């Protein structure tokens, strides 16, 4: 007997502090955060989650005035 599974789609918008002196572009930083999210979800739900698929849609750098 095969197990049932669900497909869940999220729309996530994340705001994070950014330091350009860390040597990463905003896009590289976004990729790093995306990878961290995958790792966290896998760590917390390693027995449940069979696959994580995501895509960074846009990155906007907001500079202080």
Give pTM, 2 decimals: 0.81
Domain assignment present for 46: yes
Question: Residue 50 has what pLDDT?
Answer: 86
Residue 20 has pLDDT above 90, yes or no: no
Between the alpha carbon of residue 29 and those of residues 26, 34, 36, 61, the distances in Å are: 5, 9, 11, 11
Binned at pLDDT 50, 70 and 90, residue 60 comes out as: very high
User: Angle at the Cα of 36 (from 19 to 25), degrees rounded to 5?
Assistant: 30
Domain assignment present for 11: no
Domain assignment present for 1: no
**Whole-number mean pLDDT of the chain?**
91
Q: How far apart are the C-alpha atoms of 14 and 1, rounded to whole Å?
A: 40
> What range defines the domain where residue 36 resides?
23-57
Domain count, the chain: 1
pLDDT > 70: what percent of the chain? 100
């Amino acid at each position: 007997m095969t197990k049932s599974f669900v497909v869940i789609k999220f729309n996530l918008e994340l705001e994070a502090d950014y330091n350009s002196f860390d040597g990463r572009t905003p896009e590289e930083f976004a990729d790093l955060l995306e990878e961290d999210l995958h790792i966290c979800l896998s760590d917390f739900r390693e027995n449940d989650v069979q696959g994580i698929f995501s895509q960074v849609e846009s990155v906007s750098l907001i500079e202080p005035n």
